[in-house]
């Protein structure tokens, strides 16, 4: 499984923990930045990871900022991206099963490392259920077609 990762400065320490965790599991990962603790702007990294996921170069993306909110809002502007902020394992499960989320967003200032790694594992292991959920995702795509010109 190939995973694209990105963060701003506020999410950098948690992103490093996630990278180590995924590498220990033998996953192929690429970190699209940021690489230093210098203050930076999360939309830049959201865009890079979102474009890699929609180009199908990576199966999933994982983004980290202070809250997970800003970076997910930015990623969700890219058509085809369904980024979900998760602060609990139930949401990590549900956003894959029901929403076919293709990017997981985490808040370094919200979740501890242990919970974050559990969320990551559940997100990556859970399959999309399809069926009625696909119909709803198709309706999201219709909204994109209407407004993303
Ligand atoms: C950076 O201070 C912080 O605003 C950012 O990481 C994120 O939490 C925004 O949503």
d(CA 98, CA 104): 14
Reply yes or no: is the peptide bond before residue 88 cis, omega within 30 of 0.
Answer: no
SS (H, E, C) 11-36: HHHHHHHHHHHHHHCCCEEEECCCCC
Q: What average pLDDT does the structure give for the chain?
A: 98
pTM value surpassing 0.95: yes
**Rounded to the nearest whole angstrom, what is the distance from the C-alpha of residue 71 to the centroid of ligand 1?**
8
Q: 125-140: per-residue pLDDT in tens?
A: 999 999 999 999 999 9
- Give residue limits of the domains in the chain: 2-147
Partners of 31 in the beta sheet?
5
Report the pLDDT value the prediction gives residue 149, as an integer from 0 to 100. 73
Instruction: Please tell me if the CB atom of residue 3 comes closer than 6 angstroms to any atom of ligand 1.
Output: no
Supply the pLDDT for residue 148: 83
Q: Are 122 and 93 in contact (CB under 8 A)?
A: yes
Q: Does domain 2-147 have CATH number 3.40.1400.10?
A: yes
Q: Any idea which residues carry the catalytic annotation?
A: 65, 98
Whole-number Cα distances in Å, 39 to 35, 67, 71: 11, 15, 14
List, for residues 13-50, the tens digit of each pLDDT value: 999 999 999 999 999 999 999 999 999 999 999 999 99
Closest C-alpha to ligand 1, atom 4: 66
């Amino acid at each position: 499984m190939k995973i694209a990762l990105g963060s701003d400065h506020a999410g950098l320490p948690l992103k490093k923990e996630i990278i180590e965790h995924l590498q220990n599991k033998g996953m192929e990962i690429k970190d699209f930045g940021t690489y230093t603790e210098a203050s930076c702007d999360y939309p830049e990294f959201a865009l890079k990871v979102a474009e890699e996921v929609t180009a199908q170069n990576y199966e999933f993306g994982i983004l980290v900022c202070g809250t997970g909110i800003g970076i997910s809002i930015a990623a969700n502007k890219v058509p085809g991206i369904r980024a979900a902020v998760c602060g609990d394992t139930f949401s990590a499960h549900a956003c894959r099963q029901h929403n076919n989320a293709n990017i997981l967003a985490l808040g370094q200032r919200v979740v501890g490392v242990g919970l974050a790694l559990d969320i990551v594992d559940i997100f990556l292991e859970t399959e999309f259920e399809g069926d009625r959920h696909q119909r709803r995702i198709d309706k999201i795509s219709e909204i994109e077609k209407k407004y993303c010109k």
